[in-house]
Amino acid sequence: MIRFNNDYNRAAHPAVLKALEDSAVDSFAGYGTDELCEKAADEVRAAFSCPDAAVHFLVGGTQVNVTAIAAALRPYQSAISPDTGHIHVHETGAVEHTGHKILTVPSQDGKITAEQVAQLGEAYRTSPIREHITQPKLVYISFPTEYGTVYTLRELTEMRAVCDKYGMYLFIDGARLGYGLAASDVTAKDLPRLADMFTMGGTKCGALFGEALVITNAALKPDFRSYIKQNGGMLAKGWLLGLQFDALLRDGLYFDICRRAVKLAMDIRAAFAAKGVPIFVDSPTNQQFVVLDHSQIEALESKYTFEPDHAVSPQHMCVRFCTSWATTDQEAAALIADIAAL
C-alpha cells in the first residue's frame, strides 16, 4: 500500500537518522540547554534572517500552538482563527482549555482576509460593553493552510498592518512551512518582519518529530521557557530536537526536500486535471484536494491510501492526496499512471 494520506507517515530523512546515530555515544545537558539546540537556534535565525529572535524547540504542533497562544494572551483575551484553522477543528479544544476563546472567521479555502480581522478589531474598539466581551488580541493563521493554499506577500503585509492598527499579535502556524515557502512569493526572510511568532514545522517536513517556534516580538520573549515547562512541553532530552533541526537546515536540505515534494504534487495534480477530475481547491502545495466518484475511489484505494475530506454529492467525495519529503519518484509515477487509467 502506497501512502498519500499525510506527510508524516515515514520516520525521518536519512540525514536526521544519521545525526541521531552519530550522537548516540555523546552526552548532553538536558531541557534544551545543550550546544546542539544552541547551534540549531542560530541556524534558524540565519535561515530566516532574524538574529534577535528567540527560538524554542517543542515536540508537536498542538503543543507549540497552545503554549504560544496561552503565553501571549491575558485571561480576558481571545484568538481570531479561520473556521478551518487547526486550533479550532483539530486540537480538541486545547486553546479553549487554557481559558481563551477562539473567534472564528469564515474562510475561503482556508484563508481569511485582513478586512475580516479589521471588522472584529473595530467592533471591539467601538463596543460600549468591552468589559463584557473578550478582546481579540491574536490572529492565528496557517501557512500553508489546512487546504494547502498560501497567503501572498501582499495579503500577509495587509494582515500585519491591521494587527498593528488594532494592537494584535500575528501568529503563523508553519507546521508545513517548507511546502508553503516552495509555492509562494513569501520568502523565509519575510516572515520575521510580518509575524510576531511563527513556527517552522519539522514533523511534516523531514524530522522524526519537532517544531521550532520563532518569537520576534520582544514583548513575548521573557520567561517563555516557563510557559513551555508549565504546559508539559519541555523535553528532558531536548538535544534530540536540536540535532534534527541542525541536520535539516544544513546546506538548505529542509527547503530542498519540501520543494521536491511540491513538484511531485503538481505532477499528480496535472494528471488528475488531464483526466478531467475536478480540482476542489486551487492548492499550489503538497496537499491536493480532488473530487472523485465512488468507482474512481474504489479503483485507487486498492493500491493507495488517501484521505477522505467530505462528500460533495451522493456520488462524489472530495479526497486529499498528500506528498511529502519522503515520496519517491516511483510512487508518484505509479499514481500518475493509475490516474490516467481511471
- List the CATH number of the domain containing 332: 3.90.1150.10
What CATH number is attached to the domain comprising 96?
3.40.640.10
**Co-location of 245 and 258 in the same domain:** no
The closest alpha carbon to 267, from 329, 180, 205, 185, belongs to 329
**Co-location of 321 and 207 in the same domain:** no
Q: What angle do CA 187, 212, 42 make, to 5 degrees?
A: 75
State the amino acid at position 268 in one-letter form.
Answer: I
**Co-location of 47 and 193 in the same domain:** yes
Boundary of a domain, candidates 187, 217, 252:
252
Boundary of a domain, candidates 211, 231, 252:
252
**Co-location of 222 and 149 in the same domain:** yes
Provide the pLDDT for residue 295.
96
**Co-location of 49 and 96 in the same domain:** yes
**Co-location of 206 and 218 in the same domain:** yes
Average pLDDT, stretch 78-82? 98
How do residues 21-38 score in pLDDT, each as one tens digit? 999 999 999 999 999 999
pTM value is 0.97
- Which three-class secondary structure state does DSSP give residue 203? coil
**Co-location of 107 and 215 in the same domain:** yes
Question: Do the beta carbons of residue 56 and residue 228 sit within 8 Å?
Answer: yes
Structural domains in the chain (count)? 2
**Co-location of 184 and 299 in the same domain:** no
The band of 207, judged by pLDDT with boundaries at 50, 70 and 90, is very high
Query: 1: Cβ–Cβ under 8 A, 6 or more apart, which residues?
Result: 303, 304, 305
The band of 260, judged by pLDDT with boundaries at 50, 70 and 90, is very high
Provide the pLDDT for residue 24.
92
**Co-location of 233 and 84 in the same domain:** yes
**Co-location of 200 and 272 in the same domain:** no
Backbone angles phi, psi at 22, to 5 degrees: -65, -30
Number of other residues whose CB lies within 10 A of the CB of residue 61: 26
How do residues 208-251 score in pLDDT, each as one tens digit? 999 999 999 999 999 999 999 999 999 999 999 999 999 999 99
**Co-location of 97 and 145 in the same domain:** yes
Give the structural domain span for 261: 2-7+253-340
The band of 155, judged by pLDDT with boundaries at 50, 70 and 90, is very high
